[in-house]
Amino acid sequence: MSLALSPSTQAAPTRHRRDDFVVRRLDAPLGAELTGLDLGSALDDAAFARIHRAHLDHHVLVLRDQRITPRQQIDFSRRFGPLQIHVLHQFQLPGHPEILVVSNIVENGRPIGLGDAGHYWHSDLSYVEKPSLGSMLHAQELPSEGGDTLFANMHLAYDTLPAALKRSVEGLRAEHSYLCKYEALRARSPWRPRLSDAQIAQVKPQVHPVVRTHPETGRKALFVSEHFTTRIVGLPEDESADLLARLFAHSVRPEHVYRHRWRPHDMVFWDNRCVIHLATGCPDTLRRRLNRTTIEGDRPF
């Protein structure tokens, strides 16, 4: 069984003010829940500033009960910056190229979305020159079992690195590539189309610092992930692989991780500059569909 969700028919309040909603820190190493907020309403500047502050403080925001349209998701996302268009244009929501459909559903023999999105830990679009500031994922249809998303706090991961390991990553840079695991995923998944030359040209590997400084808070965070980080620049292959494996394992220790169990109409907004995430998957027989927007960030430093 799966739960299909439909937008509300209730009239939304005209304008949210700063204190209309509640921000509650989750009992987890990152994350806060926002209730009493309707993103379908206008937000005044103070309300928007409070959401922005909560995003910087908690890194993952769970906005409950958002009965909003794709257009409203796009409009809210745009308040944080320009939106990025995913290279797999096959899975854009029709009429809304800014939305990537994340779904395991196949209709008339064709997947309607990217069914294996996020099956390795990653930060969205870390493989482009200006990786994404944040992503918003809005539940459309949820499975009755499974389908959770895990989020790891990369500030904590950096802060808790053993001293010698922390010293050894200082000043290092690493390559990120969209293509790194693409063929392996394609071999076992019906959702990965063969990429055209134009798509391959769009995702040339990029080099970013292994430890980045958050451009808004100044805090340091580890910025590597098993999905897209291929090698540490300047290290022999075996040393690079060994160091990356240690960093990956440390990043996702249970004490750094929040498990999000989706509820109908949840919108989750995370900070890709200091969070990596993982889709845990659900049984193939159950339907799961979410709409994702990604906001362009800065070049990491």
Where in the sequence numbering do the catalytic residues fall?
A: 122, 124, 277, 292
Shorter beta-carbon distance to ligand SIN: residue 30 or 117:
117
103 binds ligand SIN (CB under 6 A): no
292 binds ligand SIN (CB under 6 A): yes
- Applying CB under 6 A, among 68, 279, 282, 286 the residue interacting with ligand SIN is 279
Of 157, 174, 188, the closest CA to residue 230 belongs to: 174
What is the distance between the alpha carbons of residues 123 and 221, in angstroms, rounded to a whole number?
12
- Applying CB under 6 A, among 51, 60, 102, 257 the residue interacting with ligand SIN is 102
- Applying CB under 6 A, among 29, 115, 118, 134 the residue interacting with ligand SIN is 118
What is the distance between the alpha carbons of residues 277 and 21, in angstroms, rounded to a whole number?
26
| Residue 87 CB neighbours (<10 A) | 20
Of 61, 59, 60, the closest CA to residue 22 belongs to: 61
The least distance separating ligand SIN from the CB of residue 262, rounded to whole angstroms, comes to 8
Helix (H, G, I), strand (E, B) or coil at 48: helix
117 binds ligand SIN (CB under 6 A): yes
208 binds ligand SIN (CB under 6 A): no
300 binds ligand SIN (CB under 6 A): no
Q: Specify the DSSP class assigned to residue 86.
A: P
289 binds ligand SIN (CB under 6 A): no
What is the distance between the alpha carbons of residues 296 and 195, in angstroms, rounded to a whole number?
23
Sequence-distant (≥ 6) Cβ neighbours of residue 228 within 8 angstroms: 122, 123, 126, 127, 176, 177, 178, 180, 181
Shorter beta-carbon distance to ligand SIN: residue 16 or 122:
122
Shorter beta-carbon distance to ligand SIN: residue 169 or 221:
221
Question: Per CB under 6 A, which of residues 130..169 are in contact with ligand SIN?
Answer: 137, 149
Shorter beta-carbon distance to ligand SIN: residue 36 or 283:
283
Sign of the dihedral through C-alpha 226, 228, 231, 237: positive
Q: By the criterion CB under 6 A, which residues form the site for ligand SIN?
A: 102, 117-118, 137, 149, 277, 279, 290, 292
